[in-house]
Structure 1
């Protein structure tokens, strides 16, 4: 019965009238926030994680005529705790020794992490990677732009 309810919810969400009503409501709320000079806080509640999946959007298809193996995209990060975004992986990257980092079946995740949490997070990630017998390696790009230890 639960699966039927979930399926019905997905079908209802695809209905044009339902989507129109949702968009009108959201637009009204965004407009009110803007008029009041308020901001919207997307930070998940403690103990929760938001995963914003952009997996279905093929960003790498917009290679601007340079070829699909030449255009790479630096994904944006929402600077809030427990908020992650997922993307299709960029094309292979050529390393200094002319080896390529393969991109098939890969995914890229972006998220904000306080510097003090990084070592423990990486240790937990590597442990889970091994427990799930996942193939390939974990590549970490540290996009740390500023000291936010007290954020």
Structure 2
């Protein structure tokens, strides 16, 4: 539903922190039902002189069910519509929280973002990575983030507002 948030419904985004845990070596993972969600980072290289150097990583989610990897699309297709904002927010928080574990300073962090998961389009911009005030807590600043708006957001009205 597009419109104002339902003020009677509990805000699931506030419970995201309760669904994120840290393992014994400091890697954060999320729990959604029977799934465990882990951050995966695809390195992006650029020519620097006569060699390729890492310049960025693309944040991806690696879902697992009972320690068995599950294709991300299979996982996301299984997420109930009412939980999509919660899951997207959890994935974003996992990527931000695990960025410090990459082990290479100064890499740009690429995010995929689908603003259509918001039930109120007015907060879509505030939800985008880079518009969150606590990036410094993750060792990031807005200039280190690249946000790709996913093709599901092809609605021209949404794109114009972003």
Asked if Structure 1 and Structure 2 have the same fold, meaning a TM-score greater than 0.5 normalized by the shorter chain, the answer is no
- Structure having the larger proportion of residues in strand: 2
Higher-Rg structure is 1
Per the normalisation by structure 2, the TM-score is: 0.30
Per the normalisation by structure 1, the TM-score is: 0.31
